[in-house]
Amino acid sequence: VYDIGTGSGGWGNNELQYYTNRTENVKVENGNLIITARKENYGGMNYTSGRIKTKDRASWKYGKIEARIKIPTGQGIWPAFWMLGDNIDSVGWPKCGEIDIMEHVNNESVTHGTIHWDYNGYQYYGLQSGYLDFSQYHVYTIEWDSSAIKWFVDGNQFCEANITINDTNEFHN
């Protein structure tokens, strides 16, 4: 399903784009999902993009989740592949837990693997992958079980979070 709009209702991060469901921003072509950010005036914003989610469509607890992704770089670009807890509507963020399988910020030469949860107000844990050539596809993966979340790029582990400490119940729901 699509998130449409600017995120001003609580799901955005003060982004500068208007999220649409238009094929100019989100389409499937030759078996690839293509999400395109465009510089254009739309919905009162100067940029458009796409934001899609599996909320109320599919859910996971533990397992191996991965995607083969080619991402852009540039100032103001922040592509991400991430998950929120199913209970976000009832408990809010960060109490629902968040697992960022891959985030890439601007022109950095690395990606980030991160978790967010509510422990004494809010906690953050994340590390960076090694240097990557973003002109190529890479496979971003987590392996998630009852004791840990492990992050990989192209089969190489770069991060591990112990989810049996620091009141990390969010990652067991």
35 to 8, 20, 146: CA distances (angstroms): 21, 10, 33
Catalytic residue among 24, 98, 160, 170: 98
Residue 24 known to be catalytic: no
Nearest CA to 61 among 160, 165, 169, 155? Answer: 169
Residue 15 known to be catalytic: no
Catalytic residue among 15, 29, 103, 143: 103
Indicate which residues carry an active-site annotation: 98, 103
